[in-house]
Structure 1
Amino acid sequence: MHMRAAVLRSSPVERPFARTRPLTIETVTLDPPGRDEVLVKMAAAGVCHSDLSVINGDRLRPTPMVLGHEASAVVVEPGPGVTDLQPGDYVVMSFIPTCGHCMPCLEGRAQLCGPGQAANGAGTLISGAMRLRCDDGTDTYHHCGVSGFAEYAVISRRSIVKITKDISLVDAALFGCAVMTGVGAVVNTCGVKAGQSVAVVGLGGVGLSSILGAVAAGADRVIAVDISQAKLDLAMTLGATDAFLATDPEAAEEIRAATGGGVDHALEMAGSAPAFELAYKITKRGGTTASAGLANPNARISLSPVHIVADERVIKGSYQGSCVPPRDIPRFIALYQRGKLPVDKLLSSTGPLEEINEAFDKLDRGEVVRHVITF
């Protein structure tokens, strides 16, 4: 079948994207689903920093590629071997496909699936197949097995989570990355307990989802840290108890003083080395510093090993919120439906596929939390 899709032909691409047009809207050929694959019609796809990092060269991926990994859709046609999905089902995509049989999968750490990570790096589905071709016949790579910036997609069943139909598909899209990563980092990676203190450094879609997750987990102090006063103000409306500008040179000392020596858990969600170092500074002795921010691979941090030992500090990475998507996405949606995770408040704006380059400019400038492309 033929469809419209946003294709990245090369990277890195200079800013502003409204001028350089890194994503071109093209007619792309989509092959039918193979075994254990599903044809879906896209409903909504979030504009996320993980897509931006491919455009600006922070994350190297093969091109041409159809970007987009945070998405919701409606099932059109289950492929051979798919018996548990029907046309019309609502689904959310996971940006890491899982094989189900490698050691991380068997240990319940789906986010570390080896074959899934290899497929994402190669720009293929987990089977190794490619179902996209540009109009010149060139094979076109898949982004995270999803390629959500397109009217339709063929996706591995291993990348799909069926959801309830009593939810807006625009809101549902956010659960595929921002919510799964941000809330998951709080409840899975850090295991935040009621009464503990949490700081979140970097208030994009993932960071603000962490704020929501910390509130839902019963954290006593929820501290928001960012360079944007507008995002700090938004965090306070979402339940944060304190807000600090990261640009304040005294921010670390002020946060430590306000919390009696630091927080139990500090989460870095900005994807920058200085943000991680700030998060580490505001973590108390015996506390946990976790990062879900994807910084440039060449970025480096400077820490004192003696403090890690003498303070019994814990440093953790958090990928995909340490989630098992078929388990956690429905749980998080249920919390949303009960008013415990007001994810809809993270939605800044929506727009058509044709305005996608302008949307990435807004994201790059920090003007939106989540802009969602709708179809």
Structure 2
Amino acid sequence: MVRTRGVVVREVPGKFEVVDLDVEDPRPDEVQVELVASGMCHSDDHHVTGDIPPAMFPFALGHEGAGIVTKVGGPNRKGLREGDHVVLSAIPSCGNCRWCMTGRQNLCNLAAGILAGPRWTDGTFRLHEPDGTPVGQHCGISTFVETTTVSVDSCVKIDDDIPLEVACLVGCGVSTGWGSAVNAAGVRPGDTVVVMGIGGIGINAVQGARHCGAGQIIAVDPVEMKREKAQEFGATHAASSMEEATELAKQFTDGQGADATIVTVGVMRPEYVTQGLAATRKAGTCVVTAVGAVGEHAVQMNLHELTLAQKSLVGALFGATQSTWDIPRLLQLYRAGALKLDELVTRTYSLDDIAQGYRDMHDGKNIRGVIRYRS
């Protein structure tokens, strides 16, 4: 057992609370990881506001992290050893279910338990408060905890020369945004792409569209700083509203509209689906990656247009990526200078400053905030 510190939420709506925690030693096919850095994804804020409430409280947050293995629970099927550098994937992959076996690791059956709290294998816990109260682990990893015990299903070993303070970002945000363009939208060379919402996900959808050779990439955000940043990452144009972006897309496509529209706003609303489909040409694709309140059900769309214009409306979880393949691949692109990671980090924070970091996110000051635990 190791005493550590981490961030929990105790109710919804709630707050980010930094507390002492006890971390159990790893069991078979588990490792203990000392975090170096964790990205501050909007999804964790959803669990605090109650948009997506966890199944139990207290619940330790964080799902986008990287660190160093400090202890192993004996032999494990991934061959991880002490000293290995790992990215912790927001979506675990068992490698054996129908989805993993057919190249869709992002839909692994283990993902059904990522908001439940206990370990999905046997219902036990690895985190406790000092008085013994069980603490749930977000995605089974809880990267807002200085030292965490995780399943090897959530670990992707990476090369030691990749800086962990930026490698953490591919555990969720980079993979989700990049994959939304590359995998879910299927962007092709010369396409016109609209990216709606330029935060930690949207900025990487821009990078993914650029990677695919899109001809025009229109970044949409009401915040000027984010529009400017998007153009540094490959956007060819920027707009402050979807109305403006839709008109731009039509200008580039002889009045047709975008080949792909990718919705990556911070908090999803039904009207954004309507706007995304309206911006998309016939036989085009509107990808919905953003999430909002679990109670949001009603979406108004023109069903006549959906059918006769043969548009596709597609949901994208984790960018339809495969963590064991795509995380190392993205880091190779970073090493080759073809993927920007360092530039994504607007500001770093200590664990104690996490609430300020999320205030900065809401105020439109950050593309991505990162918690740094050690150098």
TM-score where L is the length of structure 2: 0.94
C-alpha displacement of 1:133? 0.4
Stretch of structure 1 that moved more, 71-80 or 102-111: 102-111
Q: Does 1:338 align with 2:332?
A: no
Checking the alignment, whether the CA contact within 8 Å between 2:246 and 2:258 is kept in structure 1 is no
Q: Which digits, 9 at most, give the CA deviation of each residue in 1:5-29, with x for residues without a partner?
A: 112111113xxxxxxxx22221111
Q: Distance in 1 between matches of 2:198 and 2:262?
A: 11
1:30 to 11, 23, 26: 23
1:251 to partner: Cα distance:
4.4
The equivalent of 1:39 in structure 2 is 32
CA contact 2:306–2:312 (8 Å) conserved in 1: yes
**Residue number among 101, 120, 144 corresponding to 1:126 in the alignment:** 120
Is 1:257 matched up with 2:255?
no
Contact 2:87 2:156 in 1 (8 A): yes
Q: Is the 8 A contact 1:44 1:173 kept in 2?
A: yes
1:311 pairs with 2:305:
no
- Distance in 2 (alpha carbons) for counterparts of 1:277 and 1:345: 32
Structure 1 counterpart of 2:68: 74
CA contact (8 A) 2:194 2:249 kept: no
Identity of aligned residues (%): 34
1:280 aligns to 2:280 (yes or no): no
| 1:5 alignment partner in structure 2 | 6
User: In structure 2, what is the equivalent of residue 49 of structure 1?
Assistant: 42
Please list the CA deviations of residues 126-165 of structure 1 after superposition, one character each: whole Å capped at 9, or x if unmatched. Answer: 3233100012211000001110111100010000001111
Task: Give the whole-Å Cα distance in 2 for the aligned partners of 1:259 and 1:53.
Answer: 37
Match of residue 294 from structure 1: 291
Whichever residue aligns with residue 272 of structure 1, its letter is M
C-alpha contact 1:202 1:275 (8 A) present in aligned 2: no
Runs of 4 or more above 4 Å deviation: 248-251
Of stretches 263-272 and 116-125 in structure 1, the one that deviates more from structure 2 is 116-125
The one-letter amino acid of 1:126's match is W
Query: What is the CA distance between 1:60 and its match in structure 2?
Result: 1.2
1:150 aligns with 2:145: yes
CA RMSD of aligned residues (A): 1.4
Q: Supply the AA of the counterpart residue of 2:112.
A: A
CA gap 1:3/1:250 in 2 versus in 1, 3 angstroms: closer
Unaligned 5+ runs, structure 1: 14-21
Corresponding position: 1:161 with 2:162: no
Residue 106 (1) aligns with residue 104 (2) = no
2:221 counterpart of 1:226: yes
The 3-state SS of whatever aligns with 1:121 is: coil
CA contact (8 A) 1:183 1:214 kept: yes
Separation in structure 1 between the aligned mates of residue 318 and residue 280 of structure 2, nearest angstrom:
22
**In 2, Cα distance between equivalents of 1:266 and 1:133:** 43
- Which amino acid in the other structure matches residue 135 of structure 2? T
CA contact (8 A) 2:37 2:165 kept: yes
Task: Tell me how far apart the structure 2 counterparts of residues 125 and 95 of structure 1 sit (CA, whole Å).
Answer: 14
What residue number does 1:17 align with? none
Code of the residue aligned with 2:250 in structure 1: it is R
Cα distance, 1:249 vs structure 2? 5.0
Rounded Cα–Cα distance in structure 2 between residues aligned with 1:266 and 1:172: 27
